[in-house]
Structure 1
Amino acid sequence: MTRALIIIDYTNDFVAMDGALTAGQPAIALEDRIVELADTFNHNGDYVILPTDLHTANDPFHPETKLFPPHNLANTWGREYFGKLQTWVDTHKDEDKTYIFPKNRYSSFANTNLDNYLRERGITEIDLVGVVTDICILHTAVDAYNLDYDVTIHPSGVASFNQAGHEWALDHFKNTLGFKVED
């Protein structure tokens, strides 16, 4: 069965210590695991999907403008993938089973063609990694649940800037959504 690894928002703004909305050291610690999973999925002939936040500074119509500082702005260092993931993307971005697209909401499904993309390829099983556990990972996971995907969350591949929120989300994935929460 074909699977997809979905790497959410693993960018400089969310990960690097000087990123605009960084999860800092907990997010940096994910780097090797995320690249290892991407290599494994790629080697197995599965898909690697990278939905990535894209914003416009001071957009008066976007709700995040009131909640967070400007982040993941188009054509900035902050929107580039963090560390080794950028190298991985540079190597694999033109491959048929690597799919990169912008998103403008917390969920990778909202306002995107992700559901169609997965269904067209017969993918019903997805693995989620990236940041932030209790925001973009959570909202993507809830939408995946509502769309009947079989989901695995890799605890060694997700992080947040809010440890209590991170732990709550991991519990919610397992005990409310019934997802596999394992590495």
Structure 2
Amino acid sequence: MAKALLVIDYSKDFVADDGALTCGQPAQAIDQRITELCKQFLQNKDWVIFPMDAHLKNDPYHPETKLYPPHNIIGTAGREVYGQTGKWYLENKDNDHVLLMDKNRYSAFQNTNLDNYLRERHIHDLTLTGVCTDICVLHTAIAAYNLDYEITIPRSAVATFTSNGDEWAMAHFKNALGANIAD
């Protein structure tokens, strides 16, 4: 059965020290693990999908404008995939099994074609990685659960702003969504 790795919002703005809305060191520490997973999935002829925030500068209509500083602005370096993972993406972006897709809400399923893309390829098992564990990864996992996908969350490949947020989200993935927690 086909599988997909989702690398959620792993951008310079969310990960780099000078990122506009950075998780900093915890997010930087998962770079190597995400890259390893990307390589593994592609070698197995599975899919690697990069759902990436895509915002307009100073958009008065987007609810995140009131919550966070401007981040992942379309056309800026802040949207580039971060680190080793970014290098891997650039080397493999033309592969039919690698996709970067824009999203404009926390969940990678909201207002996107992700569900159709996965179903067309008979993908039922999803591994969710990236940032932020308790925001975009969480909302994507909830949507995946509600769409009946099997979910795996590797602890070593997600990060967020606080350890409390990370711990709460991991418990929620396991206890409320039935996700497989891997390492």
Q: TM-score range by the shorter chain?
A: over 0.9
Displacement of 1:49 in angstroms is: 0.4
Q: Name 1:154's counterpart in structure 2.
A: 154
Moved more, 78-87 or 147-156: 78-87
Amino acid across the alignment from 1:104: N
Within-5 A mapping of 1:1-183: 1-183=1-183
Displacement of 1:85 in angstroms is: 1.4
Moved more, 105-114 or 93-102: 93-102
SS at match of 2:177: coil
SS at match of 1:124: strand
Measure the CA separation in 2 of the matches of 1:78 and 1:89. Answer: 15
Task: Kindly provide the CA deviation profile for residues 66-86 of structure 1, in whole angstroms up to 9, marking residues without a partner as x.
Answer: 000000011111111111112
Measure the CA separation in 2 of the matches of 1:109 and 1:177. Answer: 16
Task: Kindly provide the CA deviation profile for residues 60-114 of structure 1, in whole angstroms up to 9, marking residues without a partner as x.
Answer: 1100000000000111111111111121111111111111110000000000000
Measure the CA separation in 2 of the matches of 1:86 and 1:145. Answer: 28
Measure the CA separation in 1 of the matches of 2:35 and 2:116. Answer: 25
Aligned sequence identity (%) = 58
Task: Kindly provide the CA deviation profile for residues 120-172 of structure 1, in whole angstroms up to 9, marking residues without a partner as x.
Answer: 00000000000000000000000000000000001000000022111100000
Number of paired residues?
183
Displacement of 1:37 in angstroms is: 0.1
Measure the CA separation in 2 of the matches of 1:155 and 1:27. Answer: 12
Moved over 3 A (4+): none
Could you tell me the TM-score, scaled by structure 1's length?
A: 0.99
Which structure 1 segments of 5+ residues have no match? none
SS at match of 1:176: helix
CA-atom RMSD in angstroms: 0.6
Task: Kindly provide the CA deviation profile for residues 13-39 of structure 1, in whole angstroms up to 9, marking residues without a partner as x.
Answer: 000011000000000000000000000
